[in-house]
Amino acid sequence: MTDSTQAARAVLPGEGPVARRSVSEGVADHLRQLVFDGDLRDGDRIPQREIAKALGVSSVPVREALAALQREGVVTIEPNRGAFVNGLDAEVVAEQFYIFGRIYGLAARKTAERADPEVSTALSDLAARIAGESDLDALLALSSAFQMRIVDAGGSKRLRALITPLSRLVPGNFYAKIPGSAKLVPRWVAAISRAIASGRGEAAEQACWRFIDEVGDLVARRFR
């Protein structure tokens, strides 16, 4: 059995065509899921034809998805050979979350230093809503809004471009996939919000570091 045939087993039959929010984004999400779940492992060659057939798409969005995933470091494209998976393990996960936390922390520090009352009020409101939310889909939406409000307020366009791919390591609903992660959110979001509201940039930055480090450790445990 060839490597391509083995990897083709990772394509989930019966999922049906990808919804066209953008087709290539849907394909990329599907491939991220396969890599995260271990159905596609380090060094596996991506079976592009099988992926396209299983998802009911042409080869074009598959190639577009692979180009995007190469920019994220998920795959490496080798000319005339194909695309190969850069797999996940506990060390890779910890490294990625460490970097994510430091970028997020930098944005939080700058947000605190800029002391925009409107931003502080919005973050406090989101933190309060997060504290009272038990639905995991709603919690994901609220926490993503909290994070992006900080990144938008404290980051440059280049910083935003860096943080987006780092946030995609866990596909789907993060809190549903990583047990215990939802319990961390209210406490740390409140701490970050308070630090920003009081203009304590270093405290906001370090709260982000500790929050993301804890979350990253939960994800890394999945691969140990």
Supply the mean pLDDT for the chain.
90
* HSE value, Cβ hemisphere, 13 Å, CA-based, for 30: 29
Sign of the four-CA dihedral 15, 16, 20, 24: positive
Q: Which residues pair with 45 in a beta bridge?
A: 84
Q: Provide the pLDDT for residue 16.
A: 43
Q: Give the three-class secondary structure for 7.
A: helix
More confident residue, 209 or 161: 209
Query: What is the pLDDT averaged over residues 1-22?
Result: 46
Compute CA distances 215 → 35, 118, 134, 184, 208, whole Å.
19, 28, 18, 8, 11
Q: What is the pLDDT of residues 145-168, one digit of tens each?
A: 999 999 999 988 888 888 888 888
The answer, yes or no, to whether residue 86 has pLDDT greater than 90, is yes
Q: Domains of the chain: which residue ranges?
A: 3-85, 90-221
Instruction: Provide the pLDDT for residue 1.
Output: 42
pLDDT at site 159: 84
CB atoms within 10 A of CB 97: 23
> Under CATH, which number does the domain 3-85 receive?
1.10.10.10
d(CA 64, CA 148): 25
Task: Please give the pLDDT value at position 166.
Answer: 84
Q: Tell me the whole-structure pTM to 2 decimals.
A: 0.83
- Residue range 160-187: mean pLDDT, rounded: 91
Distance, in Å, from the CA atom of 192 to the CA atom of 149, rounded to the nearest integer, reads 12
Residue 210 has pLDDT above 50, yes or no: yes
**What's the confidence (pLDDT) of residue 21?**
56
**Structure tokens of 145?**
């809004």
Q: Mean pLDDT over residues 183-204, rounded?
A: 98
pLDDT digits (tens, 9 = 90+) for 33-84: 999 999 999 999 999 999 999 999 999 999 999 999 999 999 999 999 999 9
Share of the chain above pLDDT 90, in %: 80
Mean pLDDT of 196-224: 96
Mean pLDDT of 113-131: 97
* CATH ID of 90-221, from 3.40.50.720, 1.20.120.530, 3.30.1320.10, 1.20.1260.10: 1.20.120.530
Q: What's the whole-number mean pLDDT along residues 126-130?
A: 98
